[in-house]
Amino acid sequence: MGYLKWLGHAAFEAEIDGVKIFFDPWIDNPMSPVKLEDIAKADLIFVTHDHGDHLGNVIEISKKTGAKIVAIFDLCEALKKECSSIECIDMNIGSLVELDGLKVAITPAFHSGFHGHPVGFVVKGKETSIYHAGDTCLFKDMEIIGEIYKPEIALLPIGGWYTMGPYEAAYAVKLIKPKIAIPMHYKTFPVIKGSPEEFKKYVEDLYPATRVIILKPGEKIEF
């Protein structure tokens, strides 16, 4: 049985088809229920962009576990220069590829970064499919992501200021049409004030077919 666990901010741990993955593992975030020393196994680490609250502890986890980092080409090049011992799989926005038996696509995200374009990820396995939107505003092509990749679970930033707020994220749900939506990237810092309860209410109004699950750090869902 697979699972998805929120580690605070935009960081998630998951296991799909027996493959242990992390999204944007900033384990040092103030909401994190785990410490770096608690992480003993990882196979793939997905990095949406290189701001510190997303790049986080990627290199440490990769060195400790041997996990392969997956990121846009330019960011991979920068990470390999910083640490030559890590393995970074350089992709770009395009199509599904197979990694460790999972199908992975990099999707657009509208934000900023130091190396390469910020992105999102769709990760598809037999047990489920997950869309981690990264840091982004609302954009119309989310509808295409939903139509083509049909993610069952959407992880969406709701904090506002740097990303979508609750209403924009709820509208994204309407475009993507996932079975489950989970809010992220809120209240880690005072300026990202978006309310998960407000997000849930907007989703119930705009696209009630999607179930909103508000996780506390350390909580998980199983599939």
Q: What is the pLDDT of residues 190-207, one digit of tens each?
A: 999 999 999 999 999 999
- What are 174-189's pLDDT values in tens digits? 999 999 999 999 999 9
CATH 3.40.50.300 fits 3-216, yes or no: no
The structural domains of the chain, with segments of one domain joined by +, span 3-216
- What are 130-149's pLDDT values in tens digits? 999 999 999 999 999 999 99
Which is nearest to 138 in space by CA: 154, 153, 116?
Answer: 154
pLDDT, average across residues 94-108: 97
Instruction: Check residue 152 and report its DSSP letter.
Output: S
Q: Roughly how many angstroms between the first and final C-alpha of the chain, as a whole number?
A: 6
Q: Quote the pLDDT of residue 105.
A: 98
What predicted TM-score, i.e. pTM, was given to this entire model?
Answer: 0.98
What average pLDDT does the chain have?
97
What SS3 class is residue 163? Answer: coil
Q: Quote the pLDDT of residue 185.
A: 98
Residues 6+ apart with CB under 8 A from 128: 2, 4, 16, 152, 153, 223
Q: What angle do CA 90, 17, 144 make, to 5 degrees?
A: 55
